[in-house]
Each structure stands twice: as C-alpha cells, then as structure tokens.
Chains A and B, each alone.
Chain A
Amino acid sequence: MKNNSLTKIVVYLLFSFPLVSCKKEWLDAKPDQSLVVPSTLKDLQSSLDNTLIFNVAGPNLGELGCDDYYLTSTTFQTRSDIDRNTYSWASGDVYGTSKLDSWENPYKQIYYANNTLEGISKIEKDEFNEPAWNNIKGSALFYRAWAFYNLSQIFCKPYSTTTASTDLGIILRTESDINIPSTRSTVQETYNSVIEALKHAKDLLPINPLYITRPSKKSAFALLARTYLLMENYDSALVYADACLQFANTTNQLINFDNVDITPVNPFLYSSNSEIIF
C-alpha cells in the first residue's frame, strides 16, 4: 500500500508540475517587452485615430475620373500615369507605373479595423469601459464598412437587383490574418456586408464624436442611407437619411455662403466646417 500511494504522489507530481503553466494565457506573453502590441482600449482607439490612414487617404479614382473639375493640358502632362489615364478615361492598363492607392488604402483601413475588432473581442466590456468599448467597436465596424463601400464604388459593377448575386464584388476581408487567401465576393455579398456592419455600428456609436474625424451615429445613418439608395431600396434610404438629419439638425448647421470669406486658397476648412458630420 505504501508503494501504491507513493506511486500516486509521483504520478500526481509528474503531471501537475509542468501543467501549472498550462493556462492558455501563459503562451500569450509578449516575447519582447519593447514591442507595442495594440491590445488595450487606448491602443485600439489610438489606432483608429490614425487620421493618415482613415481620414486623408481615401480612394480617389472615382473623383479623378469625374467631371467635378478640369485640368489644363499643361497640368495634365505633369500628372502621373494613373491621374492622366483616369482623367481621360483611357482604356487598357489605367495604372501604369503608379501605386494602386485607391485599392491599397481602403485595404489598409480594413486591416486596421479588423485588427481592432479582434483586439476588442479580447477585452471584456464592463460598466466602466462601456462607452469607450462601444465607440471602438462601432468605429471599427463603420470604418470597415466604409472601406468596403468605397471599394465597391470603384471596382464593382453598379448594384442591380437582378444580377447582384452573380456580379463579382470586392474581396471581403474580415480577419487581419495575412495568410488568408483573397477571394472575391459577389456584389450582393458586398452590399450586405456593408449594411450589416453599419446597422451594428449605429447602435454602438455616439451621436457626437469627440473628434470630427471619428465616426458617429450620424455618419453610420448617412452611409446606410447612401448604400440603400444605390441598392434602389428607397424606403430604407429615406428612413436612414431622415434619421441622420434629425441628429444633424441639432448639432450641425448649414453654412450661409453669403458669410464665407473667399479670399483664402481653401475657404472651407475641415476643422471649422459646421456641415461636416464625418
């Protein structure tokens, strides 16, 4: 018997002692303390506050190719391949030697948004962090939907109820893992994804953001309205447009153009423009 109990003790020791550290988090420790691994609410919010990524680097091919502006032929000659080709609606390879900013920038935003969504899912929501938590998750969902939307306006056929489920959509990346192969969705899936994320985001986002660069309920409603409009779902478009305006009426004001000083090069400044909701 003595022998038997000794055996038990040894067996117990054998299995318990290496396993004390078998908790899941044990292997999650940062290998190098000097690395900033975005994981706290502050880190995640800060990554969404990167205005270089989210606010100044949107896709511009649509604007480049439209008739909102004109170029003199002298200026035209100085522009890059992509600018000239887009402006002149050239056929064939539009991009030439230029960087694919209109493709790459939204996907960079999508990476940041996915990374934030994965980060926030590891943080428990409680009564103290709820506003910040909601804002981060809502913002990340909004940003990703916004990037999908923007890509779809440049790289997909316009939405058509009859062919949307077969027309090729954009690549819908919903995980930050770079190893996942890129596959194209359908137009229907693309729009569904935008709508779904925005509906989720609108419940999480605040009415008024801390900075105008951050998304809010208003921006989520507005983008929902615009997406439904393109889907020819006018009823829903009306609902969300109305909702957006209701909030905007109390916080934003239309600019009286009579009072605008037109002497500066840029008379309408982003920071002081009361019409901007996002």
Chain B
Amino acid sequence: MEVSTFDKTKPARNFLTKALRIMKLTVFLLTVLCITAGASGHSQTVTITAKKASLSTIFTEIQKQTGYGFVYRWELLEKARPVDLQVKQAPLKEVLDICFKEQPLSYSIVDNTIIISNKVNEEKVAVTATIPVIDIRGKVTNEKGEAISGATIAVKGNKLLTSTNKDGEFFLAGVEENAVLVISHISFETMEIKTAGNKEIAVQMKMNISELNVVSINTGYQQLKPNEVTGSVATVSQEQLERRVSTDIISKLEGITSGLVFNRSVTGVKDLSIRGRSTISAKDDPLIVVDNFPYEGDVNDINPNDIESITMLKDAAAASIWGVRAGNGVIVITTKKGKFNQALRIVLNTNMTIGEKPDLFYDQNFLNSTDFIDIETFLFSKGAYNADFTATAKTPISPIVEILNKRKLGQITAADSAAQIGAFRELDVRNDLSKYFYQKSINQQYALNISGGTEKVSYYMSAGVDKNLSSLVRNKNERVTLNSLIAFRPFKKIEISGGLTHTQTHTESNNTESQIVTGGKYGSNILPYTQFINAQGGFLPILKDYRAVYADTAGGGRFLNWRYYPINELNSADNTNKSYHTRLNANIKYTVIKGLSIELKYQYEIGITKGLDLKSADTYFTRNLINKYTSIKPGGIIKNNIPVGGILDLSNSNLSSNSGRGQINYTNNWNKSLLSVIAGIETREIRNDRNSERTYGYDPLNITYSNVNFDSTYSNQYPTGSAKIPNNKSFSSTLNRYRSFFANAAYMFYNRYTLSASARIDQSNIFGVKTNQKSVPLWSIGSKWVIDNEKFYSISWLPSLTLRVSYGYNGNTSSSLSAYTIGEYSSSAQFTGASYLSISTPGNPKLRWEKIGIFNIGFDFSTSKNILAGSIEFYRKNGVDIIGESPLPSSTGFLTATGNFSDIAGHGFDIILTSKNINRAFKWETTFLFSQATDKVTKYKGTSVSTIVVGRPVSYVSSFPWAGLDPSTGDPLGYLADTVTKNYTALNLLRPDQQIYNGPSNPSMFGGINNIFSWKGITVSANISYKFGYYFKRKSISNTGLYGSWAGHSDYYLRWQKPGDELFTNVPSFVYPAITARDAFYTNSEILVEKGDHMRLQDVSISYDLNKKQLQQLHLYRLQFYAYANNLGIIWRANSHNIDPDYQSGYPAPRTISLGLRIGL
C-alpha cells in the first residue's frame, strides 16, 4: 500500500498536472519565503485596480505582490465570475474576501498558500465547526498506475460516501481534517487512509490475494467471480502448483488444499478424500473434471505443467451442479489457454528429481537370521517339520531344516552341520534385495509451451516429456504429452474453440521383487538368510513353491530347471504397458445479445492400453507351468503338454467417452444487482472394453507360437493335483450412459447479498427404470452476505467479513450394483435335461443414487491490510439412500437385497488462515490449514459386512479388551464381561460391536502449515502436514505366524520370558505348539492399537526469480531456478514404535531432491 500527499516527484495527470505545476511553484516560493521572511521580502498588503478581470489574473498579481501561492483546479476557475477590484495597500485577507464574495468558491490560507475550493455548504460547516473540515480529492490506481473506477471511498464514522469515476478520480467535500478514509473495491484489498489534513490523495490499491491467485472459480459449467460463489470451494493457484515438482497432478494437492486428505497406510496407496467419507460401499473418490467434463482416463496422463488452476468443490451449493457424481466432492482442473491480444510467449520448464533408495530396514516385520535359525532348530527338535518331509505337495523346506535332518539321519557330522548352519547366521536378505532390486530413482521432466493470441485467434500448444526411472530396478515410465488449444472469434458474437490432448505412456514393470516369495504355506514370506548371489558371483536359487530336493530331482532330471533364481528373473522379465489417451474438445459460444449466450460443448475421449507380458522360457513362471503339466509316458518319454517356449500374455483395454452439452448463459446487471443464470442439457456415454489372452510356445524372434489343448484335464500334475491348462482369456465390456438437465442461478443485490440455487436431474442406465421415470432433482440453495458492505458495519480491524450459508444434496453412484434382474444359465435341469436360468440377484427398479445432504456455513474475513485473512467453515452431512444391505420380507422372493437402505452422517470444519507476518522487502507469509471430518453410519441392517456398526465410522479400529500378561506364564489376558480370562476362543468370538471401539482409522483432523519467505526474487517455502485423531493396529509377533509361515517381527525380542517381564513388556511368551486363538487374540488386542497422529515436514522449496532488469538484459520474460526436496520426514508422531502411520508396512516414501529451471521468452 502506498499513500502519499503530492510531492514534486510524483507523476501527475489531468487536473493534477496543473495543480502540481502551481504547487511546485508554491513549494519553491515557500522555500524562498522561509529564507527571506526575516528580511524585507514581499509585503502582506495588495494594491490592485482591475475591472472585469479574471480571478486568475488577480491571483497572479497577488502572488507577485505578496509571494503567496495559489492551489486550485483550473475547472474551478471556469465557474468563477469576473471581478471588479479597486484596493490600495489593503490587507491580503480583505482583498481575498472581496474577490470571493460573489464566487461559488471559497478559500483558505495555509501558511503562505491560498487554497481554492468549492464553497462549502453552510450547514456542514456549522455541524463540524469545532473540527476543521477540508475537501479531499484524489485518484485511485492499481499497482500498475492504471485508474480504478467504481472504488468506494467512505469516511469512517460518517455517512460521507463517494465512488471513483472512470478515471479513478474522486472528490469528497467537508471531511474532517483527521478523518480516516476507507477505500474498497471488490477486486482489491480494502485500505484505510488517514487524511491527516491532506487534501489531495493518491491511492494505490493492491489486488486481493484471492483475486491474484484465482481470477475466477471454474465449476466446470461456468466461471464465477469469487463474490458470486455461495458454496464452499478451495482453489489452488498456479504458483502453488509450480512449487511442487511431480509427474502427476493429484499429488501436488496434498497439504495445500483445505479439506482434502490422502488416506494412506501402505506404501504406494493413496486414497483421496474430501471432507471425510460419505458412503459405505460406493465409490469414495472425488469426481475429477478436466476442462468442463468428467475425466474418464487415468489422471496420471495429465501433465501438471499444462494446468492453469484447480478448484475443489466441497459443499452442495458448489458441487450439486454435478448431480449424482458430486457426493465425494469435485476436483475441477482447468488447463492453460492462450489469451486474445497477447504477445507470443514460450515457457520451458525442466527439472530432475533424484530419490533415495528405499529403506528396507524400516519394516519391523523381520527377524534376524541367527534368531530365526535358533527358532527353526527348536521347532525341528519338536518335530514340527516331520510332516513336510513326507508331504505330497512337496512343501518348501528351509535349508537349515534340511541340514538338521541330514544330521539327524547321520548323513553329516555335528561339526559339518554347525559349520553349514553358521554360514547362514550372518546373512540378511534385505542387503541383497536392496543391492539388486532397488536403486535411486531419477525422474526427468521437460515441458514446453507456446501461447499467444491476436484479436481474433488465441492459441496454446505444449509438449511434455517425462522420463522416470523408478526406485525399483528395471521399472520405468515414460510419458509424452502433446496439447493444443485454439480459440477464435470469426465474428464478434461467436467464439469457437477446439482442443486436442494426446498422451502416450510407456511403462516397464520388469522388477520381480514381488515374486520373491516362498509360496505354499509360507505365503509371501522369505527366509531372512536368503542369498541371491554366491561369493563367486554365480546366481543362487531361492526356496520357492517346492522343496529344493524335489525341484532338483522331479522327472528324473528330464524336467526343465525348476528353481527360482532372483537375478535371472530380474534380467529376463519383459513386461510393458503402453497407453494412448486422446481428448478432443470442441466448443461454440454464440452471444445472442449482451448478457445472453448459447454454448455447445463436446468432448470425445479415447484411451487404449496395451499390456504385453512375455514370460520367456527362461523365466520361472514358464518353466514351472511347463513342468507342472508334463506327462511322463511309459518308457520315460517326456510329453510337454505345454510346449517349451515363451508364454505371452496380452491385454487390451479400450475406453471411449462421448459428452455433449448445450447450455444457455444469461447475465445481466443493473442498479447494483447482478443476475446470472445457466441452464442446459448434457448427455454422456462411457464405454470400457477389456480383453486378455495368452499364447503358449511363443517365440518373439520368429513370431511363432504353438497350440495347446485347453479342454483336457491333466490329472497327474507335478507335484500333485489336476487341472486344465489355463487359457487366460477374458472379455468384459461396460457401458454407462447419463442424461442430465441442469440449471443454476445466482442473484446479487445491493453489493452485499447473493442468493444462489441449483438443480440437476440425472438419468442413467445404472439406475432403476422407476428412478429414471421419476426425475427427482438434486438441488441446492446458497446465500452470501458481505457484512462489511453494510452501513452499520464498523469493525475497523476487520474490514472484510462475509458470511455464507448453503444447503442441498449431492449424489453418489455405485457401479458395482445393477438395477436389473440378473440370471445365470445352468445346463441340464432335473427331469427335463434342458438348460435353465436361475435368478441370482433380484432387479431393483428403484435403485438410485446415494443422496448426501450438506449444510455449510462459512465466514471469510481479513484484517486491515490483509495481515490476517482466512475463512472458517462448518458443515454437516446427512447421507440417505446409502447403498447397503437389508433384509427383505421373504414374500418378495428374496431374503436380503443390496440397495438404498442405509444412512450415514458426518460433520466437520475447515479453517484456512493466511498471515503476512512480515511484509516489507523481506516477506514472510504463513498459511495454516486445519480440517476436521468425521463420519458415522446411522442406519445399517445388513450382516454381510460384519465391520459396519451403527454409530461408528465406516472404517474404524476396534480391538479385544486387554488385561495384560499372566505374571506366571506370560499368556495374554483379556476381559469377558469384566472378568479377566484366557478363554481365547470366546474372546475371538466378540463381534466388532462388542469389542473396544478405539476410533476412526482415517485421520479425523488434518491440515498443513506452509511458510513462505521471499526476498529479492528468492523464495523459500516449507510445508508441514499433519494428521490427527485416528488409530491403527500395529503388527507384532505371533507364535502361529512365526512357526507356521516364517512371519518375523522385531517384537520377538520383547517377548515375555520369565516372571517379572510382564512389568515392562506386553508381548506374550512363546509357547509350543502355537495356539492360534491365543495369537489371534493378542494380534487383535487393544494393546497393539496406536494413535496415528503425526506431523511431517513434507517438503521444502527454494526458488530464485531474476528481476525485471536482469530479464530485460537477457531478453526474457521469466527465468527461475528452483530446488525442491520432498518427503523430508516425520517431525513428530504419537506412537513410540517408530512407525510412520502413512507407511505401516513396506517403506516410507524415499526422500527426493529436485533441481529445475523455468524460462519464459
């Protein structure tokens, strides 16, 4: 903000120019006077004789004689009457009184200056007689010095009010000398200025923060000015998007968008949620809209560099225009566009991101080799593996057990046994996994865009290349995006635009780490002393699926090698996925008359994904399958029922969507009121076709293949079992159709009240027939009250205050449910032998969308100079017709059905605060986001999903009541009806509703703190994110798991071993044989439930922008260097077990560091 009285250096325009000229003179004269006052100088008397003389002539004469200067507007003197004057040696005041007697003007003398102004109303003078009043004139400009018209200038504590004209000028008469002027404009920050006696004021206003960041809010149907919005929206600006470096757009939203949280528990899984959950079993992710239409493709295909802004629609007033797909909130993504009348701009952004190797030692589900071997030895001595040696399924047997068995059979000496076992004790499979299967990730990003426009045409074109080398060795992802959008106005009233976006993605998933599992009863666990490469560098096999002895000797040596060599597998994998996604847009907008326009929009989306997984004859998968199906004929002749050769799995998926929309827009504003109405029709069709097939005996060199017999059942498989050869053929096809009618209206009046209403009818082939016939709309109403525009409003420290209230319904659909009666064919009915049809699911002609009623109330405010600005919103959700199970009267023919039978409720609040802590050359700004969201099932009658309990959230943690460890045995103790018990069977029967309710399993409070520091083009920002108010059940050791399936955990070391241990541990003692119910009780008990609360330093970004001068020298319009560090780590966590609640198993997202450059030409 800058306020100044006029001085010599200020540029001036219009009347000010002239006034200034005079003032310059005045100042000069004053200076002279000051110096000469004591000496002779000018006289204080005047001698003039004039007839019909103009005032200006007289002023010149007076000035000559007295040295007093005059300040006035030329226009004022135009009103002045000619003066007859005959004075001799008269005092100045007397002369002036005569001059002004008949004039519509008055004068005042301030020091040696005479100021001319319009004659002040006598009454006003009387009222404010005690305090001197002045007339104030001024000019309001924006930061670029351009005039702002329509700004309101009010005098605080007074009714005086005026507004600026088209030149940004204003005039206020009779203002108290020490008054405070409040200057406001919808798009600018409200300012307060002390007049301090100044009569000429130049005001430079600053753009509103929200205006700066978001020029307008895009709902996907219309662009709204922030003041037209009555609903709850969150916006993410381009600056915020640019701050983060990432390949995809969605992960840029985390921690900076109010009300949005990523629910995570396992590495790689992120479940987006806006304002908590509002469904039990239907889709719970928000609708993603790109350029006005729902995006059906993979959101990762969108290049974040092409994104202009993102708007999140949270409540009913904002989102109900999206009807049955708005229930989980809507994320509206708007891509960049060229502007008419804009010079050519070329922007290049390039960066490189390097990520640390994942920390495999983080996972606590591991037991050191030496302790593991001791346990195996103990189990062997107890005979735990006896059955394995004779199992027909040829269960894997660990090398330690094999050695122990050889020793038992006397095949090796005790010394050999000890030596062989000893060699395993120091090994750690995590070292090999980390060394051969993980690497530092390297992501490269290049994005170039060109935009510009003439009066009739605007264009935006971009190309982007992303090359990502994953932290998993041999996994990579390459994406090329091409984007073009052209808009032109052939005639004044018509605007036509068309866009084409094409994305090609090439993904290689050749890392085989996930195949390194033992299989059989050991599932995904592997021995901690597994090695991949021996001391000589030779590939070592791991134990997988079968006992090693069996794999080596089956078929009498006539089989293919049946062992799994991890390094060989990693090298042989050839699994690629190519996807092509094209989006075509066409829009025509015709302005019928000013304010009324008709728009047609069309979008076609096509996506093709082709998967190719060639498992060569070298791969274990192929060798295993061939061996399994081999027959050995009498005489030892081998017959490979599956030919020796590669196995090729191909998959195809095609997506196509067609969307059309016709819309009428009407806006009119008159007399401080604004009416904006849209109405339209929309149809959409989304088709998904998928198929997959397998080819056996495939040779990629000659492109040959072999036929196999899929019909025969091979009854003597190796090692056991009977089955047909899997053909891996599948087809699926889905088709969703929607037809919708929508309307939305907003009415603003008196500059301070806004009312809005919206309604939408959706029909779809996923709803029941009766639902479509009824056409019940989803609707919303909203209101907004700009309180600070009220006359009575006088809170000076809070110059901006707005209240918003809205209510309405959003919908949500479940595509897994069918409204149709579904049957199944069977052959050969009893008595007739004819084929017959059974009805498996009854039709539900009333199947409809879930309906989420949302009440939202919010305050937006800012203190003076926007030092503290923000909003507080509270909402209540009431979901009805939620998809759930319900018993049916058996007279319907069915006992249960899934349909709109349940209810859910939720509430919460969102707070955003932005504080300008320091706002000088050095700037420090803090943004604080805090959201709370809870959900609760309020009606549920089904039984099939046993965890749903009325009164609890959809996902929650419950546990068995814990009573500590038995001091004499270390057995876990529980409570049954307040009695301490070891009756594990009974404890395990406690239903979720009878267990202890710990709390929600998704964060109920979350947000972020973002600090931005900037100084001379250098910007440093850091983002802290936090999640509170949720629980998780941590893993621990279990006898059953460790004995039966090698599931290790570091809690093993904390187990109860002797009386007294119960004082410092809760890990039960180990018993043999394992008691499954005892372990099930412990692993699901209260003692393992941890608070998920934590805070993490998400990222730090540093950027340096060259200043204008430097840019001019380089002939650039922008040059920015930036560095970005992500996933920096946890600052605080509630649990004391060193578990990152976002990554309860696996490994935390590795830290990454990026360096980049943005150039604009």
Measured CB to CB, the residues of A under 8 A from B are 3, 6-7, 10-11, 13-15, 17-19, 21-22, 26-38, 43, 46-47, 49-53, 55-56, 100, 103-104, 107-108, 110-112, 115, 171, 173, 176-180, 182, 211-213, 270-271
Smallest CB-CB separation from A173: which chain B residue? B891
Q: How far is the CB of A82 from chain B (nearest CB, A)?
A: 15
Given contacts A11-B598, A36-B822, A38-B823, contact A107 B892 (CB under 8 A): yes
Inter-chain contact A112/B739, CB cutoff 8 Å? no
A173 near B892 with CB under 8 A, answer yes
CB distance from B685 to the nearest CB of A (A): 8
Expressed in whole angstroms, the Cα–Cα distance for A176 and B837 within the complex equals 16
Asked if B843 and A47 sit within 8 Å, CB to CB, the answer is no
Q: How far is the CA of A62 from the CA of B821 in the complex (A)?
A: 32
Is the beta-carbon distance between A37 and B839 smaller than 8 angstroms?
A: no
Whether B892 pairs with A50 at a CB distance below 8 angstroms is no
Asked if B739 and A22 sit within 8 Å, CB to CB, the answer is: yes
A-B contact pairs, 24 of them (CB 8 A): A14-B598, A14-B600, A18-B661, A18-B662, A21-B683, A21-B737, A27-B737, A27-B739, A27-B764, A33-B735, A35-B822, A36-B823, A38-B821, A43-B823, A47-B837, A49-B836, A52-B838, A111-B894, A112-B893, A173-B892, A176-B821, A177-B844, A177-B845, A178-B893
Max count, chain A CB within 10 A of own CB: residue among B592, B821, B894? B821
Residues of B within 8 A of A31 (CB): 734-736, 765-766, 815, 818
A212 CA to B734 CA, complexed, in Å: 40
B824 on interface, CB distance cutoff 8 Å:
yes
Contact between A13 and B600, CB atoms less than 8 A apart: yes
Instruction: Collect the chain A residues with CB atoms within 8 Å of residue B734's CB.
Output: 31-33
Q: Give A176 Cβ to nearest chain B Cβ, in Å.
A: 6
How far is B892's CA from A110's CA once the two chains are assembled, in angstroms?
A: 8
**Chain B contacts of A56 at CB under 8 A?**
830
Total CB contacts across the A-B interface at under 8 A: 184
From residue 551 to 610 of chain B, which have CB atoms closer than 8 A to chain A? 588, 590, 592, 598, 600
A11 CB contacts on chain B under 8 angstroms: 598
Q: Which residues of B contact A34 (CB under 8 A)?
A: 731-733
Across the interface, B831 reaches (CB within 8 A) one of A55, A108, A177, namely A55
- Please tell me if the beta carbons of B839 and A47 are within 8 angstroms of each other in the complex: yes
Contact of A18 among B682, B770, B845 (CB under 8 A): B682
CB neighbours of A50 from chain B (8 A): 829, 836-838
Contact (Cβ within 8 A) A37 B822: yes
Distance to closest chain A CB from B742 (angstroms):
11
* Pair B821/A177 contact, Cβ less than 8 Å: no
Asked if B829 contacts A51 (CB within 8 A), the reply is yes
Candidates B681, B832, B895; contact of A51 at CB < 8 Å = B832
CA distance A10 to B664 in the complex (A): 11
CB distance from B901 to the nearest CB of A (A): 10
Assuming the A-B contacts A50-B838, A107-B893, are A26 and B822 also in contact, with contact meaning beta carbons closer than 8 angstroms in the complex?
Answer: no
Q: How far does the Cβ of B684 sit from chain A's closest Cβ, in whole Å?
A: 10
For A3, list chain B residues within 8 Å (CB).
Answer: 493
The chain B residue sitting closest to A50, CB to CB, is: B836
A100 & B822 in contact (Cβ 8 Å cutoff): no
Q: Is B701 an interface residue (CB 8 A)?
A: no
A257 CA / B733 CA spacing, docked (Å): 59
Chain B residues with CB below 8 A from A100, complex form = 890
Question: Does any Cβ of A come within 8 Å of B444's Cβ?
Answer: no
Q: Is B380 an interface residue (CB 8 A)?
A: no
The contact size tier of chain B is 35 or more
Which of chain A's residues have a CB closer than 8 A to the CB of B891? 103, 107, 171, 173, 182
- Nearest A residue to B592, CB-CB: A7
Q: Is the CB of B737 within 8 A of A15?
A: no
A36 & B837 in contact (Cβ 8 Å cutoff): yes
Give A3 to B596 CA distance when docked, in angstroms: 14
> Which of B766, B822, B829, B845 has the most chain A CB atoms inside 10 A of its CB?
B829
Q: In whole angstroms, how far apart are the Cα atoms of A86 and B888 in the complex?
A: 26
Cβ of A270: which chain B residues have Cβ within 8 Å of it?
A: 831
Nearest opposing residue in chain B for A36, CB measure:
B823
Given A31-B765, A178-B888, A49:B834 Cβ within 8 A: yes
- Residues of chain B from 858 to 885 with CB closer than 8 A to chain A in the complex: none
| Given A26-B739, A38-B823, A176-B843, also A271-B831 (CB < 8 A) | yes
Shortest beta-carbon distance from A164 to chain B in Å = 21
Chain B neighbourhood of A27, CB < 8 A: 737, 739, 763-765, 772
B436 interfacial by beta-carbon distance below 8 Å? no
* In the assembled complex, B825 has its CB within 8 A of some CB on chain A: yes
A110 and B592 alpha carbons, distance in the complex (Å) = 59
| Contacting residues, chain A, for B735 (C-beta < 8 A) | 29-33
A36: chain B residues at CB < 8 Å are 822-825, 837
- Kindly list chain A residues whose C-beta atoms are within 8 Å of the C-beta of B766: 31
The residue on A at minimum CB distance from B819 is A31
Task: Answer whether A30 and B892 are a contact pair too, CB < 8 Å, given A115-B821, A211-B831.
Answer: no
B942 in the interface (beta carbon within 8 A)? no
- Report how far A179 CA is from B845 CA in the complex, Å: 8
Q: Bound state CA distance, A178 and B824, in angstroms?
A: 19
Expressed in whole angstroms, the minimum distance between the Cβ of B315 and any Cβ of chain A is: 28
Q: Which chain B residues lie closer than 8 Å to A17 at the CB level?
A: 600, 660, 662
- Bound complex: CA A103 to CA B895 (Å): 12
B64 to chain A, nearest CB (A): 66
A240 to B854, CA, bound (A): 63
Given contacts A19-B681, A108-B893, A112-B893, contact A37 B823 (CB under 8 A): yes
User: Is A46 within 8 A of B835, CB to CB?
Assistant: yes
Assess whether B660 is in contact with A18, with CB atoms less than 8 Å apart: yes
Please name all residues of chain A whose beta carbon is closer than 8 Å to the beta carbon of B739 when the two chains form the complex.
Answer: 18, 21-22, 26-27
The residues of A that contact B764 with a CB separation of less than 8 Å are 27
B664 interface neighbour in A14, A35, A43, A46, Cβ under 8 Å: A14
Q: Given A13, A35, A38, A177, which contacts B846 in the complex, CB threshold below 8 Å?
A: A177
Given A10-B588, A21-B683, A50-B837, 10 more contacts at CB 8 Å?
A10-B600, A11-B598, A27-B763, A27-B765, A31-B734, A38-B823, A49-B834, A107-B892, A108-B893, A179-B846
